[in-house]
Amino acid sequence: MVTMTKVALNTYPLVVPLLEDFQDVRLISVYDVPFYGKSRKDKKKTKLIRVLDFIIFSVYSTYFVLIKNEYKTYILFTSPPMLFIIWSWFLRRRRLPYIIHCMDVYPEMLKAAYNIPNIVYSFLLKLARYSLSKAARIVLIGEDQLKLESIQKLSLNKIVFQENKTSIVLGELPRRNDDVVRIGYFGSYGVPHDIDCFCSAIKELDSIHLSIVSKTSKARELVSKYRGVVNIVHYDNASNEEFQMLLNSVDYYLVSLRSEFTGISVPSKIYTALCNGVKVIFYGNASSDIAMKVSQNHGLSIHSGLDKKTLVRILKDLEPASERNTRYRVRVNKYLYSLS
């Protein structure tokens, strides 16, 4: 069995796929070219290198894993974008079974993020549906994914749910002598995320401290608007020690997902928090599956369409956490990838 996905080793390791539970899964490393620039010129270079990196990974993985070698079962992840369509085509030609693990769902992600033309979206949707329909198993990580166009017409007999498992283990809350509520945002901050209005509300509340740990250009653009605000701090390149300390010290994890991305992208960092008993503030679609899960585990779901005045009123009632919650037990099926 081999898994086909691209794991970014140069980003914070909040969540890893549940691969350590399967001893017969072989991991083949493909090295990428990390580049994080800050200037406008650097951003253009970053985009170019990301495209080049995607091409290198695509060619390497397709040749060395799908053409040169042969395994009994393949696990195809839906990221990088649309590559699973190419992989599944090769596998069908060789009559080899494959499983598709849906993280970010394409082409819905392309439509929501970049508003691609309808004719292109319809074409990619047909390809994605066909690849999914021929899979031996389809793994989803959230119930909202069942509502997506590429998935909703598929056979339910093939679909199984697998929540993400965190590799981060946190200790108990450190003792503090103040009444400051500490909120942390960790990891990717891109097109599906928006906490601008949330930050503007935090700016009005001296009793709340927000730490943002993200190295994306969009995160830098966000915090530049709040430069000089003492209770909003951005960590662009936190060391492993600083990162672990920040993870362990917050009262709440802030998780954001724009409403139009519900089901398309499942913010897996909530499992880092819930599995460690940390309360979550979910800022997005308050009626989504994620919001329900957060609320059931003593967290707070806030609809992202609320105005700043309402947000201030809600956040003003937050209190520092005195202890961790009961640790959330992830739904794990160790026989998930068995095709027998």
Please determine, for residue 162, whether its predicted confidence score (pLDDT) is greater than 60. Answer: yes
Quick one: 205 and 65 in the same domain? no
- Point out the least confidently predicted range of 81-95, 137-151, 233-247: 233-247
Residue 205 confidence (pLDDT): 93
Quick one: 158 and 191 in the same domain? no
Which of 313, 319, 288 lies closest to 303, judged by CA?
Answer: 288
Whether 138 contacts 158, CB under 8 Å: yes
Quick one: 62 and 156 in the same domain? yes
Range of the structural domain that residue 140 is part of? 2-162
Quick one: 57 and 95 in the same domain? yes
State both tokens at 283.
């800022």
- Point out the least confidently predicted range of 21-30, 86-95, 116-125: 21-30
Residue 75 confidence (pLDDT): 84
Quick one: 146 and 27 in the same domain? yes
State both tokens at 88.
């599944």
Q: How far is CA 58 from CA 36, 140, 304, in A?
A: 21, 23, 36
Quick one: 212 and 158 in the same domain? no
In a domain, 60, yes or no: yes
Which phi and psi (to 5°) does residue 254 adopt?
-95, 125
Quick one: 123 and 14 in the same domain? yes
What is the rounded average pLDDT of the residues 123-151?
92
Average pLDDT value for the chain = 79
Number of domains in the chain: 2
Q: Is the dihedral of CA 86, 32, 265, 329 positive or negative?
A: positive
Residue 4 confidence (pLDDT): 54
In a domain, 238, yes or no: yes
Which phi and psi (to 5°) does residue 16 adopt?
-120, 150
Whether 291 contacts 270, CB under 8 Å: no
In a domain, 330, yes or no: no
State both tokens at 243.
């990162």
Quick one: 99 and 212 in the same domain? no
* Domain C-terminal end among 104, 131, 162: 162
**What is the tens place of the pLDDT at every residue in 40-93?**
455 555 667 777 777 877 887 777 666 766 677 788 888 878 889 988 998 898
- Which CATH number is 304's domain given? 3.40.50.2000
Please determine, for residue 12, whether its predicted confidence score (pLDDT) is greater than 60. Answer: no
Quick one: 136 and 187 in the same domain? no
Q: How far is CA 339 from CA 214, 231, 263, 323, in A?
A: 39, 51, 26, 42
Alpha carbon distance 13, 84 (integer Å): 23
Q: Is 272 left (phi over 0), alpha (psi -120 to 50) or beta?
A: alpha
Of 16-20, 35-39, 74-78, 257-261, which one has max mean pLDDT? 257-261
In a domain, 129, yes or no: yes
Residue 299 confidence (pLDDT): 85
Q: How far is CA 99 from CA 57, 78, 113, 132, 335, in A?
A: 20, 11, 26, 9, 13
In a domain, 337, yes or no: no
Quick one: 137 and 259 in the same domain? no
Which phi and psi (to 5°) does residue 272 adopt?
-60, -45
Please determine, for residue 306, whether its predicted confidence score (pLDDT) is greater than 60. Answer: yes
In a domain, 7, yes or no: yes
What is the rounded average pLDDT of the residues 100-112?
91
The residue whose two tokens read 């701090």 is 233
Quick one: 53 and 124 in the same domain? yes
Alpha carbon distance 70, 73 (integer Å): 9
In a domain, 321, yes or no: no
* Domain C-terminal end among 99, 127, 162: 162
In a domain, 336, yes or no: no
- Three-class SS state of 2: strand
Alpha carbon distance 260, 239 (integer Å): 34
Quick one: 258 and 200 in the same domain? yes
Alpha carbon distance 209, 326 (integer Å): 24
State both tokens at 295.
């609320």
Kindly give the interhelix angle for 83-93 and 40-61, rounded to the nearest 10 degrees: 10
